[in-house]
Amino acid sequence: MPPVVIALDGPSGSGKSSTARKVATRLGLAYLDTGAMYRAMTWAVLERDVDVEDAEAVAEAAAEIVIESGTDPQAPTIIADGVDVAGPIREQAVTDAVSQVSRVPAVRERLVALQRQTIASSDGIVLEGRDIGTVVAPDAPLKLYLVADTAARAARRAAEEGQAEVAAHVEATAASLQRRDAIDSTRTTSPLAKADDAIELDTTHLTLDEVVDEVVRLAVKAVPDLGGPAS
């Protein structure tokens, strides 16, 4: 039997990482943040002073970059060229450049191959990203597409950064989310898209725990074996 895959896709800041980690923990599954892999690749490209607008140069650099992901949902790790980049990949410079790097086909080929290797070596896994249900794991028995209003997404992200009360920060965050969504959903290779058989879940008015409960319920319905003592 191939490992069970739960695919979580959706726009920036819709709650994919927080939901996926908690669902994986509840169900005793591994967890892979594919956005962190694209961010790590971007960090390493920037470290090499490569112009992210130059797709050929990005592809050339990407061929040499080594990305490693740890899949424990309670302590996920991300390493680029032997460096722990969990902190640096959340910095604004990486956030601003990641959509440019992610649209280079050679980058996607490398990372999708790594993601499929990670699935194959797992005993069941929750993956989150932009193309999990459409490209990385099209046969996943459960695909979710998380959405939330831009205002809610920006407010949540600003709260996480301790800036919820700073209107200019919330506004800039909303603009940054929308800019990334626009690039991610219009690129030629595997754009952000809802798979035809994905279930759309609007989290705007749901708490994180409510979202997690719903995803766990859908997972156990789709794969009854997941409903063992661990859940």
Sequence letter at residue 142: L
The residue from 51, 54, 56, 160 that contacts ligand ATP (CB under 6 A) is: 160
The residue from 4, 9, 12, 173 that contacts ligand ATP (CB under 6 A) is: 12
Express the helix, strand and coil content of the chain in percent, nearest 5 each.
50, 15, 35
Helices (H), the chain: 16-27, 34-47, 55-62, 92-102, 105-120, 150-160, 167-186, 208-222
The residue from 7, 12, 27, 85 that contacts ligand LCLUPRNS (CB under 6 A) is: 12
Nearer to ligand ATP, 206 or 220 (CB): 206
Nearer to ligand ATP, 126 or 211 (CB): 211
Helices (H), 12-54: 16-27, 34-47
Is the Cα dihedral 88, 24, 22, 178 positive or negative?
A: positive
Region of 35-43, 76-84, 156-164, 212-220 interacting with ligand LCLUPRNS (CB under 6 A) = 35-43
What are the residues binding ligand LCLUPRNS (CB under 6 A)?
Answer: 12, 34-35, 38-39, 98-99, 102, 129-131, 180, 184
